[in-house]
Structure 1
């Protein structure tokens, strides 16, 4: 994660574990491997080495909006689920529904980062705008506000514009 500047762009230090992310069609996320927006349009299966008695938060962000050279919307919140028991996402509370990669035309490769935090207990997220406003999310501030500490597990892929997937304005 250091080689692609995820540290320091979005995290202060590397997570100690890996998040396994597999999209339909057996497209697996592998630390910076490029995938197409078509590959990642549907919600993936996500897992990590988890204690089934503990709670976790899963976040997926794009720190490169609208481009890596000009990230004025850093970070785009692509997915946020809290209070996950172990690594069973069906037990968690989805704050921001999953949205796959849709980099704007001509903006180059974007990094799409999956981060898992171990929670010290149940959290109540009271920010309604996280359900609708995806731009200018700040993973560091969110983690600090909810006492999440350092990232426990992570993974990422890169993707760029793909004419077969419609662009979104936000």
Structure 2
């Protein structure tokens, strides 16, 4: 059993374990390693993300939390933290940012949340005209997101790479909530 299956990422977020892993490293010096525990403070800034990319191919990257408000009661599953499409190779910075990066921010006393990164190879350049563009200054349009349904809508198939970490509340979370207008 893989870590994604062991921690319920399959089937809560995706249907199958991706063949490849995403390398994710944060400016704080921590890396994501299939369910390791990181703090919101450690992951507050945009990470560097790499996966086995093919020349000329375009990709979509998503980071999502299926455990909102908690793993036991995920009534707002999923709350997506980052969504970037039309990424050429691994150059996330030059992709089409649909949802700006928001680090982990589990509410107090809700236990560990899973933060799942998945990458899909796109069939070609996609037009995201109907998809709202989200800043990292608001919680609007982030809850109730399903990467499975999004992938289906845009004919992305199954994810080609994935990884995840877990986090729970720390002293940085109130600062994040204030940034998002949720404090």
Tell me if 1:85 matches 2:63. Answer: no
Does residue 135 of the first structure (1) align with residue 143 of the second (2)?
yes
Contact in 2 for aligned 1:56/1:119 (Cα 8 Å): yes
Which residue number in structure 2 is paired with residue 5 of structure 1? Answer: 8
Give me the whole-angstrom Cα distance separating, in 1, the residues matched to 2:57 and 2:131: 25
Report the counterpart of residue 144 of structure 1 in structure 2: 152
| Partner SS for 1:27 | coil
Q: Which residue of 2 aligns with 1:56?
A: 59
Q: Counterpart of 2:41 in 1: which secondary structure? A: coil
Q: Is the 8 A contact 1:62 1:110 kept in 2?
A: yes
- Gaps of at least 5 residues in structure 1 are none
3-state SS, counterpart of residue 142 of structure 1: helix
Unaligned runs of 5+ in 2: 135-139
TM-score by length of 1: 0.96
Which TM-score applies when normalising by structure 2? 0.89
Cα distance, 1:128 vs. partner? 4.2
- Kindly indicate whether the alpha-carbon contact (under 8 Å) linking 1:52 and 1:87 is maintained by their aligned counterparts in 2: no
CA distance in 1, matches of 2:130, 2:106: 26
**Mapped partners of 1:44, 1:141: distance in 2:** 25
Match of 1:42 in 2: 45
1:133, distance to aligned residue in structure 2 (A): 1.2
Alpha-carbon shift at residue 165 of structure 1 (Å): 2.8
Q: Pick the aligned partner of 1:110 from 107, 113, 126.
A: 113
Rounded to whole Å, the distance in 1 between the matches of 2:103 and 2:82 is 9
Describe the superposition over 1:52-95 as per-residue Cα deviations: whole angstroms up to 9, x where unpaired: 21000000000000000000100001000000001111221000
| Partner-residue secondary structure (3-state), 1:83 | strand
